[in-house]
Structure 1
Amino acid sequence: MTAAYTLYAKPGFAATTIERLCSEARISNRAFYECFGGREELLQALHERCVEESLAVVAKALQEAPSTLDGRVKAGIRAYIEFATADWRRARIMHLEVRRSGDVLTASRQRAVDSFARLVEEASADFPQARSLNRRLVALGAIGALQELLIEWILADEQPGIDELVEVAVHIFIRGLSAS
């Protein structure tokens, strides 16, 4: 898994063969197939691990956040962005390779988006200003925007700063959730 974590991040899923994975991990092809049905299954396992870890980080941040809509949004977004960007490989797998892999991660990606959308819905449920719109649709739109901000962070020649990413994402989430 460690070899795949690095290779799937760069040079990327499409460019990483099983032979290269096994060589990097210093295992035989047979040993690989005793653990995984193929490189797609390994990518899914890596993606799901990253998602589970990030969900836990965000849920903890939301629990510890001030009990205001702004406080929860800021805490959740900062926790997610800092977690995703703390390791470039994680950011690439969760936001770039998940798209580049085609149909391989479609179901896994949808489960992740749904889980994060539920977190946003739950975190905003107690606030009257967040009730006028369909919170699920707002959450999905804001999550999509956050993903694009992180793709920009990954691919930009001059990466935006983490504080700037947080500021923009918080603005998008708050404006979406506070709209009437």
Structure 2
Amino acid sequence: MSQTLFHAPLMSMPTSADPESLGTTTATPPTPDHRSRLMTAMGTTLVHKPYGEITIADVVAEARVSKRTFYEQFASKDECLLALCELLSERTLAVMSEGFDPDKDWMAQLNWVIEAYLGNIQKQPALIRTLCVELLNLGTPGLAVRRAILQRFVNFLIRQVELSRQHEPGRLPLSHNLAMAVVGGVNELILEAIEQGRGDRLLDLAPEVEAFVKAVLDALEPHARSAHGLR
């Protein structure tokens, strides 16, 4: 997989500093690129420095923009961190969806989806671990973003099952609670591996994750319903 959680445009940094930071009198209007650069800078800084020690000055220095530009995009460094978490989840889902063909059997493509997910996280485990920990430390806003991120992946899983049901109408739908249990369980496995220093080998989890997800999805098949006396 060639993509990373940060798309290439997000990672590319300008060769010259923001005119505002050079002390010119001409203000540069804020652009989406400024926001992207600041989130990238936050991610880069997190790899080398604990979040509690990071200052806005650190972030703007890495992004090569002014503090004024920062505050045009974010109210605080916490808001920047939360936006980074949201961005990473969106990028991961984009990679997972990239090779998925809705006209093909979902179960046959399960391995691709799982490896895309694990492979992207494996590329920067230290950052992912920091984000997971810091989200919990941000109180209600952090929990809200964590819930929203989990919900995105839950919706992705439910949507794929619904697409498969177009070809197999007898298959049961995947409930929200069951999908949340799958996503939450897989994420805990990943976090445990990262905490144990196995973040560079997350793809080793693929066979077990695939077996777990398949076991859940197999229970939705018509033959499984008959075996358990379900209608």
- TM class by shorter chain equals 0.7 to 0.9
1:49-77 C-alpha deviation (Å, 9 max, x unpaired):
111111111122332795142x2322211
Instruction: Name the SS for the 2:54 alignment partner.
Output: coil
In structure 1, what is the equivalent of residue 228 of structure 2? none
In structure 2, distance between residues paired with 1:20 and 1:95: 21
Q: Which runs of 5+ in 1 are unaligned?
A: none
Code of the residue aligned with 2:189 in structure 1: it is L
In structure 2, distance between residues paired with 1:11 and 1:105: 20
Tell me: higher relative CO, structure 1 or 2? Use CA pairs within 8 A at least 6 residues apart: 1
Instruction: Name the SS for the 2:52 alignment partner.
Output: coil
Q: Aligned match of 1:18 in 56, 61, 64?
A: 56
In structure 1, what is the equivalent of residue 185 of structure 2? 145
Instruction: Name the SS for the 2:75 alignment partner.
Output: coil
Q: Aligned match of 1:62 in 84, 100, 111?
A: 100
Q: Retained in 2: the 8 A contact 1:13–1:97?
A: yes
User: Shift of the alpha carbon at 1:141?
Assistant: 0.7
User: Shift of the alpha carbon at 1:31?
Assistant: 3.2
1:62-121 C-alpha deviation (Å, 9 max, x unpaired):
32795142x232221111111122233553355443334333332222222112111111
Q: Aligned match of 1:175 in 215, 220, 223?
A: 215
Q: Aligned match of 1:3 in 35, 41, 44?
A: 41
TM-score, normalization by structure 1: 0.80
In structure 2, distance between residues paired with 1:34 and 1:84: 30
Shift in CA distance, 165/140, structure 1 to aligned 2, threshold 3 Å: same
Code of the residue aligned with 2:157 in structure 1: it is V
In structure 1, distance between residues paired with 2:199 and 2:109: 26
Q: Which stretch shifts more, 121-130 or 42-51? A: 121-130
In structure 2, distance between residues paired with 1:81 and 1:105: 23
User: Shift of the alpha carbon at 1:42?
Assistant: 0.7
| Structure with more of its chain in helix, by fraction | 1
Q: Retained in 2: the 8 A contact 1:146–1:169?
A: yes
Q: Aligned match of 1:124 in 140, 161, 169?
A: 161
Instruction: Name the SS for the 2:99 alignment partner.
Output: helix
Please tell me whether Structure 1 or Structure 2 has the larger radius of gyration of its CA atoms. 2
In structure 2, what is the equivalent of residue 156 of structure 1? 196
**Residue 123 of structure 2 is aligned to residue 86 of structure 1:** yes
**Residue 93 of structure 2 is aligned to residue 52 of structure 1:** no
Q: Which stretch shifts more, 155-164 or 106-115? A: 155-164
In structure 2, what is the equivalent of residue 136 of structure 1? 176
Q: Percent identity?
A: 24
User: Shift of the alpha carbon at 1:25?
Assistant: 3.7
Q: Retained in 1: the 8 A contact 2:46–2:127?
A: no
Q: Retained in 2: the 8 A contact 1:95–1:147?
A: no
Instruction: Name the SS for the 1:62 alignment partner.
Output: coil
In structure 2, distance between residues paired with 1:163 and 1:129: 33
Q: CA-atom RMSD, angstroms?
A: 2.8
User: Shift of the alpha carbon at 1:8?
Assistant: 3.1
